[in-house]
Amino acid sequence: MQRKTFQRDNLTFSYLDTEGEKPLLVALHGHMMEGATFLPLMQVLQSSFRVVALDQRGHGASDHAASYTRDDYLCDIEALLQTLDCDAPVILLGHSLGGVNAYQFAARHPERVRALIIEDIGASVNDNLSFCLAWSGFFKTQEDLVARIGPNMACYLAPSFRQTAQGWKLAFEPAEMVQSQTCLNGDHWTDWLATSCPALLLHGAQSPVLTSIMSEEMATRRLRTQMQTLPGGHVLHQDDFPGYVEAVEGFLARLSAE
């Protein structure tokens, strides 16, 4: 597994790449996370797929940006695919922010997307991340940072902890996450329904983000869409990793058989 970079609009983007001449699956993380959140999944899938996990703008080892609009994120994905020089349609897997980015990219470039795997995000989004503003700045110890974030959230954000000469901090800037979420909020039904490639929608039974009503409607209204509810909350690839892998591998096996 290699860490690589590419440039777009004077920004440097970082991504993890299992490499190999195999079908390409691009994984897109959610807010406040980074590509490394998918490392366990990458290790499972790398025998059959080339898996690339992008650190999206303002996250992980990628540069911070002045703006976090919908166009920004979608053009970043396009630049990544150009860097990978892959002519065949790709599979896009996205969690939360990454899920909307995935299905909106497919809506703009249907010929470039073979299938979608969307983890716990709706076709309409209205969330507020202002709570994370209290996590800004440096902390004397890692324990102080964890205490500020809270143990329930810290377990998901651990890959984004950074130790610096000034102390412990997060790889992302909380104010930028609030800005990005504001740009993400809105009605995206037109984009969700714009494509008909095979799609797997994963819903967390205890998710505070995606309701069962929304997930069922998304699966009913969009062609070739399978919805599956798994135990856990919003971050299913951590809350129920075995169930998550089983669902993803089953979907990919059916896709390969088509």
Task: Return the number of other C-beta atoms located less than 10 Å from residue 129's C-beta.
Answer: 18
CA–CA separation, 170 and 163 (whole Å) = 9
- Span 128-155, pLDDT tens digits: 999 999 999 999 999 999 999 999 999 9
Question: Per the confidence metrics, is the pTM higher than 0.85?
Answer: yes
Domain assignments of the chain as residue spans, ordered by start: 2-126+177-257, 137-172
The pLDDT confidence band at residue 1, using thresholds 50, 70 and 90, is confident
Q: What is the mean pLDDT of residues 52-81?
A: 98
* Beta bridge pairs of residue 169: 162
| 54 token code pair | 């992008």
| 28/94 Cα distance (integer angstroms) | 5
CATH code: domain 2-126+177-257 is 3.40.50.1820
Confidence band for 86, pLDDT divided at 50, 70 and 90: confident
Quick one: pLDDT band at residue 233, thresholds 50, 70, 90? very high
Above pLDDT 70, what percent of the chain?
100
Positive or negative torsion for Cα 13, 18, 22, 26: negative
Please give, one letter per residue, the 3-state secondary structure of the chain.
CEEEEEEECCEEEEEEECCCCCCEEEEECCCCCCHHHHHHHHHHHCCCCEEEEEECCCCCCCCCCCCCCHHHHHHHHHHHHHHHCCCCCEEEEEECHHHHHHHHHHHHCHHHEEEEEEECCCCEECCCCHHHHHHCCCECCHHHHHHHHCHHHHHHHHHHEEEECCEEEECCCHHHHHHHHHHHCEECHHHHCCCCCCEEEEEECCCCCCCHHHHHHHHHHCCCEEEEEECCCCCHHHHCHHHHHHHHHHHHHHHHHC
Does residue 87 surpass a pLDDT of 90? no
Confidence check: pLDDT of 33 > 90: yes
